[in-house]
Structure 1
Amino acid sequence: MQPYDIELMTSLSRPSLASDGSFAIYAASRPDCRANRTVGQLWRIDLAPDLAAAGATAAGPATAEPVARRLTRGIDDTAPQLSPDGTTIAFLRPDSRGRPQVHLVDARGGEPLQVTDQLLGTGPAAWTPDGSRLVFTARVAEPGRYGTVDGLEPGAESPRRITGLRWHANGVGFSTDRLTQVFVVEASSVGDQPLYAAAPHPGGPLATTPSIPAQVTQLTSAFAEHTAIAPTADGTAVLAVREAYEGPGAARRDLRTALVRLPVGDLPVGGLPTDSGEESVLLSPEDGLRIQDLTVLADGTIAMLASQPGAGRDSVAPDVALWLLGADGPRRLTDPESLELTGPIVTHGESVLVASPHRGRVHLLRIDRAGAVSRVLDGDLEVHGWDAAGDLVLAAATTADSAGVLLARTGHGAPDTLVDTGADLRDAGLVRPRELELEGRSGYPVHGWSAVPEGPGPFPTLLLIHGGPHAFYGVGVFDEVQTLVAAGYAVVYGNPRGSAGYGRAHGRAVRGGFGTVDAEDVIDLLEGALAADERLDAQRLGILGGSYGGYLTAWIIAHDHRFRGAIVERGFLDPLSFQGTSDIGSYFGDEYLGTDPEAIARQSAFGHAGSVRTPTLVIHSEEDHRCPLEQGTRYYTALRRAGVEAEMLIFPGEDHELTRSGRPRHRVERFDAVLEWWERVFGSAEFSSATEEGPRGGDPTTSGPSPS
């Protein structure tokens, strides 16, 4: 796989399945270097009679074989959601300013109808049960900002007064002056007559003909962020998760959220509802939950994925579980210590469907009201979106050789692959990684993979470390690994302690111990991979990682001088400055590293930069608010002051998500720079000799505390 082959990585959205099981809608998206953006459209797949019958609640049309066809031709159509009667699709499409707006289109195809015109765009829409309305979230600009005043440039706006702990977010920028609120809009009929512009008339000017057929109504105005919206079963209200901003006197971040009920009733033209009652709080922050996602069951019971952050702050490997909220209050159904769960939550009869990360896979589970768990889809895949009708379940997933597959399962049978976007990617050349599991030096199991080019070797070997730390590398096709392998490098990567998918104790093992057992695990994985495959060259080693992986890379090269080169990307490097610059600085370091100054200094990669001898490339993005640019620039400067061969690459206009959703040209340019760096590292006598003055194979864990 070459850097530009990211264009072949077509992913699929969460499918939306008709209630009779006869067809489904999904979005297919991919990076496009010529357009320099993500592009994609909506697709419709008409299901075979046996699949449709499994989902049928009433007779519906079906074709002889599943056939997918492109339904829209927009540049970036996403987030499709079928109306309850299956006749209309709500989806997002950029407007003339490039901001996503809710559009409607006939489920059989046709010209889409734009129904929102929010200044800063909208989030995905959800239908009310009767199909008469759509609810969505959108950021609301403070007057005088973000184009609310024509001709007022950003640099001429008034100053921002900050009185709380939070003021910005990665991928957003400043946030407290453009809060996310909840809206509702009538669902205009796509069969109605279009609106025609009025022609000039001798009798005088005519009223301007609106281009948007309906006016939205704002349901909330709180100083908070609203997420995870869901209409109630009777359609009279909308549920939303509310995360309020801390007040001026707050000294600590509070991760707990509220669940609010927002009556809809009869909607006025603009403004707030006047005759539908007041909002009510179903759960307050004092109830102790941080709600990630929710849905409403047929009888009105609310199903939630939620954690219980201790003292409102504990964010380390959160104890996410499935909860039910009824008249008797919230009730937890699953054990978060042994079963990790992620959303979205989708109703399936009296049960719900959720996902569970497990050893680099993401499986689809069904959980009933008693908490009984059964597997719907498992094996070597990572599911990320699903829907159900009757006995039929559809799921979008990635596999080892495809960035997008659509799977169907009925009853207890094996799943059918309805769509597979990976043919061109496979033709470009993919290597199947080898799964590794070995016993580390302390007896703890270490799990990961090695991917090796074809041929006898020996190949220069790169140790790749993921971010998080509560994240994971998986079995799905990974452009980073495939591009490095195609360039002639063996890649070793895995999920050390701190990662997700191995039980909560595994995820919490690094609390208070960054640079200890996590560094031990990745080094043990590397040494195990070297011992297991003679094609890996133990004398030509490199190390790289991003975010927390950038931290662990920086930590290891300060303590272990066997590596000929390193790449530290978007790193969490100085926990002290991180506190006042990162969008999660108000709690992340406190919870993972602790608050004791000596403990923080002991775990700081920046504090150990003077011990580095390894030539290092530092990569960062200008608009990264998760690990801000100063983390990279200060670390780079510290390396140069220590006499280390170092370079820095800074990407304009990108945030923390450059490698995953950045502009395609920047992603390719980054790959080119990474490959050029490794070519110099392993081909340059200057770089090769730079690491030979110090000890090799040192222990990167000796300077840190034991994990709590």
Structure 2
Amino acid sequence: MRPDQLDLLTTVDAPTLTPDGGRLVVGTSRPDFRTDGYTGQLWVMPTDGSAPPRRLTQGYRDAGAQLSPDGSTVAFLRSPAPGSDSGAPSAPQLALIPLDGGEGRIVTDRRLGVTGFTWSPDSRWITFSSPEPEPGRYGTVAGVGPGQEDPRLVTGPDHRLNGKGYTADQRSRLFEIEVPDPSGEPAFAARGRMAAPQDDPAGPPALPAARPLTGGERDASDPVYAADSRHVFFATTPEAGFGQSLRTAVAVVEARRDASDRPGPTAASDAGTVRLVAGGIEVPVGFGSPCVSRNGEWLYLLGQDLGESGLEFVASNGAVYALPADRAVREATIGWDRPAAGLQPRLLTDPAALGFAGSLRPSGQDQVLALGASRGRTVLVQVSHHGRSEVLVDQQGEVTGACEAGGTLAVSSTSAASPGAVGVQHRGSGLRELFDPNASWRADLPPAAAMEREYGGPDGAGGPRGHRPNQPAVHGWVFLPEGPGPHPVILTIHGGPYAQYTWSWFDETQVLVAAGYAVVMCNPRGSDGYGAAHGAAIQGRLGTVDHQDIIAFLDGALEEFGPGGGGQLDDRRIGVQGGSYGGYMTAWITAHDHRFTAAIVERGYLDPVSALGSSDIGWFFSEQYMGSDPEHLRQQSPLHHVDRVRTPTLVIHSEEDLRCPIEHAQRYYQALWARGVEAELLIFPGEDHELSRSGTPWHRRVRFEHVLRWWDRHLAQQVTDE
């Protein structure tokens, strides 16, 4: 694919099903160059394939659909087009639409938007999470812009987040609304003299009243109702104020209503009493992603062991836990040191083998669906409170979301063939593709085929390059462009480091291969998907065994496909590139291996020393991965070894990157320039750490054009023998 074809790539949300499993609703999203944003709508379709998918909504960006438990209404998040001058908040708002069609009705007007929501089991209520701006900030006072706000007093290390900025002055809270009839007569805000009496009850309000359930002392997210439709479980932090650790907890709050089951007062101070269910200040396991079983008997949680310090996150896989939901409501405690005695979630899965992440979803009456990373795939697993686990979907790609109802399983996924599709399977049948919004161009733009390989182990490629004593096998993929070789080679390195390359469609690879470059990529030690021990192998020694694995895989590919093998790879034209941890490793490798013709270092974590204060994760990441000894930390810094680099390097960074602050890139580029190394610094305004994945479409396109320009300059020219 070409950079100007980015707007073809459509992804899909997690699907949602009617109670009988007969109909499915899913949201789509794609880059849009015209508006320089992301657009997408909701689609509805029968799961038996008897009718084609039909566009249900017509908003600019509609996403996150959830069907009401009674199956009549779809709730979703609606965002206006970039630059919209409607006067309404530009952040996503909660909206409703009847499943059988109609107009979407927005039911919130939160200044900073709605980030998540859940239906009550009786379909009468919705609880949503929304950041609440501190008075005087984020436009809450007319004429007071960001430069005129009061100063911020920071009293802890965890006070900023990439893509969000400062966090303590916009903590997320929970609010509850009574669901209006989505087919009823719409109400609009009063104007002029009719708007003067603020408490005039004569007419209906334009929006349903949002009653606060939680205060602002802690973040509150991922709400889910208990079976009684009155209690709400949610994820939060044990500590109030600024975070001191990575611990998370699950709490419960009662949605207080009067005897007629009507909403109570809406004053901000009338939030309910929050009680702790799981986790706590002194509990090593952090809990989140609460999910209540359909029969209401079980509360499932994702948990991560963070050790006594609450910071030991390296290769700490998420696991599924469960506890009786009714006990969680009855025995939850108001204190935040630890949950009630005896109320301990029971571990259901082995965190050393398969790590779970994302959101849990109910399955059947008393089970749960979870997503786990496994050897370049994301698989769908069904977990029971008895501790039994069953892999339901394991294919060459990544399951991104799932829903089960009425004996129908719906799965959203990515694969080598498509950036996003939805499939279904009924009892006793296999997974069948139901909807792929990319089908219109897939036939004309077939993806480059991935060749799965293992190199470096006893059974890997032989010879002096492909095999090393005691070198474990390294798993990865090789992509070859069309036509005869030898092709220039680009070694790409993923971020994380606890992440993984997968079988799924990857725009980076597709653009490079279409431009004539062979791509080599692997999951070295430190990656996710191969067990906790594999992920923790680099702790305290970044740039050692991970470096060894990456080079072993490259050498194995050159041994099989290079001049001594198939002749498709040119071992004299090799580039290396990576972002985040991949940027770190690219800078590290070019300081220690001078075989590479050129390099691209993108959003690199290039100085773990300065990151201790400048990065949003620096207060824990550097020490946990690289240790606390100052000299040992410095020895693992690419900036400390930059004087060894001779490879021409393009440095790419975003101005608003808080994960790997731009000063890393500026200092690295300056050091290369001062030493006479050919270097360029490409800076993207208005973007953060997620530029290549979710930056504005135009910037993503321009980024690809600069990447190809750099590689064309250094790798496209065929090397000839003298």
TM value normalised by structure 1: 0.91
TM value normalised by structure 2: 0.89
The answer to whether the aligner puts 1:338 opposite 2:353 as a matched pair is yes
Code of the aligned partner of 1:401: A
- Name the counterpart of 2:246: 255
Residue 146 of structure 1, aligned match among 124, 138, 147: 138
Q: Could you tell me whether the CA contact under 8 Å between 1:114 and 1:212 is conserved in 2?
A: no
Deviations 1:380-401 (A, max 9, x none): 1210111001321100001111
Secondary structure of the residue aligned to 1:65 is: coil
Code of the aligned partner of 2:40: G
Q: Could you tell me whether the CA contact under 8 Å between 1:498 and 1:510 is conserved in 2?
A: yes
Code of the aligned partner of 1:22: G
Equivalent pairs counted in the alignment come to: 667
Residue 156 of structure 1, aligned match among 148, 151, 174: 148
CA distance in 1, matches of 2:530, 2:518: 25
Alignment of 1:365-404 (within 5 A): 365-404=381-420
The answer to whether the aligner puts 1:229 opposite 2:223 as a matched pair is yes
The answer to whether the aligner puts 1:296 opposite 2:292 as a matched pair is yes
**Residue segments in structure 1 that go unaligned for 5+ positions in a row:** 49-63, 690-708
Secondary structure of the residue aligned to 1:5 is: helix
The answer to whether the aligner puts 1:506 opposite 2:523 as a matched pair is no
- Name the counterpart of 2:517: 489
Query: Shift in Å at residue 291 of structure 1?
Result: 2.0
CA distance in 2, matches of 1:118, 1:481: 39
Query: Shift in Å at residue 247 of structure 1?
Result: 6.2
Deviations 1:340-382 (A, max 9, x none): 2223211112211111211111111111122212121112121
Judging changes above 3 Å, is the alpha-carbon distance between structure 1 residues 193 and 437 closer, same or farther for their aligned structure 2 residues?
Answer: same
- Name the counterpart of 1:623: 656
CA distance in 2, matches of 1:342, 1:225: 20
Residue 434 of structure 1, aligned match among 443, 451, 465: 451
Code of the aligned partner of 1:240: F
**Residue segments in structure 2 that go unaligned for 5+ positions in a row:** 81-87, 258-262, 328-342, 458-467, 562-566
Deviates more, 1:157-166 or 1:558-567: 157-166
- Name the counterpart of 1:56: none
Deviations 1:503-540 (A, max 9, x none): 11111111011000101111111111111112011000
Query: Shift in Å at residue 132 of structure 1?
Result: 1.0
CA distance in 1, matches of 2:442, 2:665: 33
Secondary structure of the residue aligned to 1:617 is: strand
Code of the aligned partner of 2:64: A
Q: Could you tell me whether the CA contact under 8 Å between 1:126 and 1:230 is conserved in 2?
A: yes
Secondary structure of the residue aligned to 2:687 is: coil
Query: Shift in Å at residue 586 of structure 1?
Result: 1.2
Secondary structure of the residue aligned to 1:341 is: strand
Q: Could you tell me whether the CA contact under 8 Å between 2:218 and 2:241 is conserved in 1?
A: no
Deviates more, 1:582-591 or 1:223-232: 223-232
Query: Shift in Å at residue 295 of structure 1?
Result: 0.1
Code of the aligned partner of 2:209: Q
- Name the counterpart of 2:127: 135
Code of the aligned partner of 2:346: R
CA distance in 1, matches of 2:277, 2:526: 34
- Name the counterpart of 1:60: none
Q: Could you tell me whether the CA contact under 8 Å between 1:66 and 1:418 is conserved in 2?
A: no
Judging changes above 3 Å, is the alpha-carbon distance between structure 1 residues 526 and 200 closer, same or farther for their aligned structure 2 residues?
Answer: closer
Query: Shift in Å at residue 631 of structure 1?
Result: 1.2
Query: Shift in Å at residue 269 of structure 1?
Result: 4.0
- Name the counterpart of 1:704: none
Residue 76 of structure 1, aligned match among 61, 67, 76: 61
Query: Shift in Å at residue 45 of structure 1?
Result: 0.9
Code of the aligned partner of 1:36: D
Q: Could you tell me whether the CA contact under 8 Å between 1:401 and 1:422 is conserved in 2?
A: no
CA distance in 2, matches of 1:225, 1:196: 31
Q: Could you tell me whether the CA contact under 8 Å between 1:325 and 1:331 is conserved in 2?
A: yes
The answer to whether the aligner puts 1:280 opposite 2:308 as a matched pair is no
Deviations 1:112-153 (A, max 9, x none): 111111111111221011111111111111111100001111
The answer to whether the aligner puts 1:419 opposite 2:435 as a matched pair is yes
Judging changes above 3 Å, is the alpha-carbon distance between structure 1 residues 198 and 336 closer, same or farther for their aligned structure 2 residues?
Answer: closer
- Name the counterpart of 1:44: 44
Q: Could you tell me whether the CA contact under 8 Å between 2:188 and 2:206 is conserved in 1?
A: no
Judging changes above 3 Å, is the alpha-carbon distance between structure 1 residues 618 and 44 closer, same or farther for their aligned structure 2 residues?
Answer: same
CA distance in 2, matches of 1:353, 1:92: 23
Output the aligned Cα RMSD.
2.1
Q: Could you tell me whether the CA contact under 8 Å between 1:117 and 1:212 is conserved in 2?
A: no
Alignment of 1:82-101 (within 5 A): 82-95=67-80, 96-101=88-93
CA distance in 2, matches of 1:680, 1:199: 62
Q: Could you tell me whether the CA contact under 8 Å between 2:189 and 2:206 is conserved in 1?
A: no
CA distance in 2, matches of 1:273, 1:575: 42
- Name the counterpart of 1:699: none
CA distance in 2, matches of 1:655, 1:210: 42
CA distance in 1, matches of 2:269, 2:133: 20
- Name the counterpart of 1:54: none
CA distance in 2, matches of 1:124, 1:257: 17
Secondary structure of the residue aligned to 1:44 is: strand
Q: Could you tell me whether the CA contact under 8 Å between 1:363 and 1:378 is conserved in 2?
A: yes
Code of the aligned partner of 1:565: A
Deviates more, 1:652-661 or 1:338-347: 338-347
Judging changes above 3 Å, is the alpha-carbon distance between structure 1 residues 358 and 668 closer, same or farther for their aligned structure 2 residues?
Answer: same
Secondary structure of the residue aligned to 1:126 is: strand
Query: Shift in Å at residue 200 of structure 1?
Result: 7.0
Query: Shift in Å at residue 204 of structure 1?
Result: 11
Judging changes above 3 Å, is the alpha-carbon distance between structure 1 residues 198 and 557 closer, same or farther for their aligned structure 2 residues?
Answer: closer
Deviates more, 1:549-558 or 1:189-198: 189-198
- Name the counterpart of 1:545: 578
- Name the counterpart of 1:17: 17
Secondary structure of the residue aligned to 2:237 is: strand
The answer to whether the aligner puts 1:65 opposite 2:50 as a matched pair is yes
Query: Shift in Å at residue 9 of structure 1?
Result: 1.1
Query: Shift in Å at residue 684 of structure 1?
Result: 7.4
Percent sequence identity is 42
Deviates more, 1:96-105 or 1:321-330: 321-330
CA distance in 1, matches of 2:116, 2:387: 30
Query: Shift in Å at residue 618 of structure 1?
Result: 0.5
Secondary structure of the residue aligned to 1:295 is: strand
- Name the counterpart of 1:26: 26
Query: Shift in Å at residue 227 of structure 1?
Result: 2.3
CA distance in 2, matches of 1:221, 1:199: 31
- Name the counterpart of 2:339: none
- Name the counterpart of 1:316: 314
Secondary structure of the residue aligned to 1:543 is: strand
Judging changes above 3 Å, is the alpha-carbon distance between structure 1 residues 246 and 642 closer, same or farther for their aligned structure 2 residues?
Answer: farther
